[in-house]
Amino acid sequence: MSKRILVLDDNQDILDIVQETLTYEKFEVRSTSNSLDVLPLMEQFIPDLIILDYRVAGTTGGEICKRIKLHPQFSNTPVIIFSAYLNNDDHLLNYGCDGVINKPFDLSELVEKVNNLIYP
């Protein structure tokens, strides 16, 4: 059974590229551009890893990450935050995420980070 990844990004081009890349790598991927969809999709899809864009309408990926890490069912689910806006990864790690990928990013970096978190 393939591992499941949930992706949030409000840029459809990035969502498409990430979904295509991770699907090619044999992951089952669900994606959304709406931050309000993340928690309901999590509970429905039960992902093995979650990727969040830092800057999304209405909130931040950091705030969503904190909610995920407080959720009893998903507190141990690895979370990666994408960011084009912060140069200091430590700021993002304070939200409890397990990894940071700075935009623009290399697809091989994405796949490597995902594999390292899903298959430690």
C-alpha–C-alpha distance, residues 14 and 103, integer Å? 10
- In terms of C-beta density within 10 A (0-12 exposed, 13-18 middle, 19 or more buried), how is residue 66 classed? middle
Superfamily per CATH, domain 4-118 = Response regulator (3.40.50.2300)
- In this predicted structure, what is the pLDDT of residue 85? 73
Q: What is the 3-state secondary structure (H, E, C) of 45-61?
A: HCCCEEEEECEECCEEH
- Is the model's pLDDT at 20 over the cut of 70? yes
Mean of the pLDDT values across residues 15-35? Answer: 97
**Ranges of each domain in the chain:** 4-118
Cβ of 76: how many Cβ atoms within 10 Å? 8
Average pLDDT, the chain: 93
Which tokens belong to 20?
A: 């295509």
- Is the model's pLDDT at 119 over the cut of 70? yes
pLDDT band at 60 (very low <50, low <70, confident <90, very high): very high
- Is the model's pLDDT at 84 over the cut of 90? no
Q: With beta carbons less than 8 A apart as the criterion, state whether 80 and 107 touch.
A: no
